[in-house]
Amino acid sequence: MKRTSTTLADGRELIYFDEHDDAVRATVDTRELPPPPPPAQLRYDPLTEEWIAIAAHRQTRTFLPPAAECPLCPAKPEFAGEVPADDYDVVVFENRFPSFSGDSGRCEVVCFSPDHDSSFKDLPVSRVRTVLAALADRTAELSAQPGVEQVFCFENRGVEIGVTLHHPHGQIYAYPYVTPTTRRYLDAARRHREQGKGNLYAELLAGERAAGERVVAANEHWTAFVPYAARWPYEIHLAPHRQVPDLAALTDDERDACAPLWSELTRRLDGLFGLDMPYIAGWHQAPVHADRDLGYLHLRLISSRRAPGKLKYLAGSESAMGAWVNDIAPEQAAAALRAVSL
C-alpha cells in the first residue's frame, strides 16, 4: 500500500491510501478556501458528568448536495471538491466542519471509493482491506497526538441516520476525553475483573460462540453475532477471537480475515428486506492511555429499521430515560440475518 500525505488549500491534511505502489495522485488543491473554523467549545455537564461540544460552525456544513457537486468525489474540471485527484482508492482528510479540532481533538473523513453511487457493501474485499489499513494507520497516528484520549472510526449510512452526504464514506473522531459509552463499558469490565474473573467482553464472546444461537457468521479469527441484550432491531457485533485494544494492534492475518466478514454483514443487512438499510457501523476501541487491558476491539453494526417502511425511533423511554425496548428478539434477528441469500 502506498501512503501519500499532502495539505489542502486551507492547511488541512489529506492522505491517499493506494493499493498500488505506482499510483500518482494530485496533491495540489487549487481552490480558494477560508481558514478552518475555530475549535468547538467543550462544556462540562455536572449532572451527567459528560462533556458536550458546542460547534456552531457545523450549522453551515454541506447538506445533501446534488451528485455533480459532491465534495467527496474525485476532482472534475467543472467542480473541485475536497479531493484534488481525479481518482483514488481510499482517501482520508481533516473534516472541514469538525466537531473537534486544534487542542480539542480532531475529526477526519474517510472516503471508501471514488464511485459516488456505490456503498460499502459494493466494495471488493480488497478495498475493505485497504479501508482497514487506513483506519489502523489513523488510529495509531491520532493516538499519538497530544490531548487525544480515544479514537472512534465509524460509518453512518442513510438519511434515516442523518447523513449529509450520500457518497460512501466514514469518519474518525479523535476525542479529547473518554466517551460516556466507553466509560460505562470499562466500569463494568473493571467490576467484573475485581470479582476475580477474566476480561468481560472475552467471556461474553466465548459464551456466544459456544451457544451459537445468535452467531451470524464466523471464520478462523472473527465471530459476528447478535448480542443477547440487543437494543436495536438489528444489531451485530464483529469481534476478533484474540483480545486486542484497537485496530492498530491487529495482525495482517486478522485484518485479512476481518475484511470479508465486515463486507458480508453489510450485504446481509441489505438482504433482509431487499432495500438499503440505514445503519451505524462503529469500531469500539480501548482508550489511548487508560484501561487498555480492559478494552476489547469490536465492531458494532446497528440499524434502526425494524421492518420495510418502519423505523425504530428513540422516543420517551429511550431518549429521556435511557431505558431501551426492542421489538425484535435477538435470536429472531440472528436467524433472519443467517437466512439471507448472498
Annotated binding site for Zn(2+): 70, 73, 116, 167
3-state helix, strand, coil in the chain (%, to 5): 30, 25, 45
Q: Which amino acid is at 114?
A: P
CA distance 163 to 150: 23
Secondary structure (3-state) at 333: helix
Instruction: List, in order, residues 6 or more apart from 102 with CB less than 8 Å away.
Output: 38, 39
Residue 133 backbone dihedrals phi, psi, to 5 degrees: -65, -40
Distance CA 6, CA 27 (A): 6
Residues making up the binding site: 70, 73, 116, 167
- Give backbone dihedrals phi and psi of 84, rounded to 5 degrees, phi first: -65, -30
Active site residue ranges: 169
Residue 289 CB-density burial (10 A; 0-12 exposed, 13-18 middle, 19+ buried): exposed
Look up cell 472516503; give the residue.
Answer: 111
Tell whether the torsion through CA atoms of 288, 293, 297 and 298 is positive or negative.
Answer: negative
C-alpha cell at 96: 472541514
Q: For residue 327, which of 341, 337, 340, 314 has the smallest C-alpha distance?
A: 314
DSSP helix/strand/coil, 95: coil
Cα distance between residue 301 and residue 231, in whole Å: 12
